[in-house]
Amino acid sequence: MRVSAKELYGLRAMAELARHFDQGPISLAEVSRTQGISLDYLEQVAASLRKAGLLDSKRGAQGGYLLSRSPQAITAGDVIRALEGSILPVQCTTEHLERRCTPCYHETECTARNVWQTVSQRLVETLDGITLADLQ
């Protein structure tokens, strides 16, 4: 399993925003500087997080981005889903309606399916059990 740059940078950016939660909006330029993430790439990541309802933005001289909820109310799983659509998208472990791929023809008799379902379940439980407050 590989973790995408979008997932890595998204979690780092959200953790940085969580550190500033009670201090008002923070600019993406500041997040970019402190986290060593390209500003152009961070803007794309922030757009996805904002669209998913995890970030709010404020315009103006004192503007920037801030979490839409408290750090205790946003999980690592929320961030991953906002950026990638699902956690561990293995064909036979996701619902057919969520799939970005064609159904597997061996799904019903596959001996490895239980392995991937267990891994997927444990990964979801773990990521949904870690909040942004835990990352500070």
Rg, the chain, Cα only: 17
Among residues 129, 46, 58, 43, which one has the least CA distance to residue 82? 46
Task: Domain of residue 116: give its range.
Answer: 5-135
State yes or no: pLDDT of 15 exceeds 50.
yes
Q: Please, what is the average pLDDT of the chain?
A: 87
Name, in order, each residue with C-beta under 8 angstroms of 103's C-beta and a sequence gap of 6 or more. Answer: 91, 96
pTM for the model stands at: 0.84
What CA–CA distance (Å, rounded) separates 101 from 99?
5
Domain of residue 59, CATH code = 1.10.10.10
pLDDT value, residue 97: 42
How many domains does the chain divide into? 1
Token look-up 């799939």 returns 99
pLDDT value, residue 96: 43
Q: How confident is the model at residue 86 (pLDDT cuts 50, 70, 90)?
A: confident
pLDDT value, residue 17: 97
Q: How confident is the model at residue 85 (pLDDT cuts 50, 70, 90)?
A: confident
Number of other CB atoms surrounding residue 49 within 10 Å: 23
Name, in order, each residue with C-beta under 8 angstroms of 22's C-beta and a sequence gap of 6 or more. Answer: none
Where is pLDDT greater, at 55 or 96? 55
Mean pLDDT calculated for residue range 43-69:
95
Mean pLDDT calculated for residue range 43-67:
94
pLDDT value, residue 99: 47
Mean pLDDT calculated for residue range 83-98:
64
Determine the length of the chain. 136
What CA–CA distance (Å, rounded) separates 131 from 32?
21
Q: What is the pLDDT of residues 24-46, one digit of tens each?
A: 999 999 999 999 999 999 999 99
In the chain, % of residues over pLDDT 70: 83
Token look-up 């993406």 returns 28
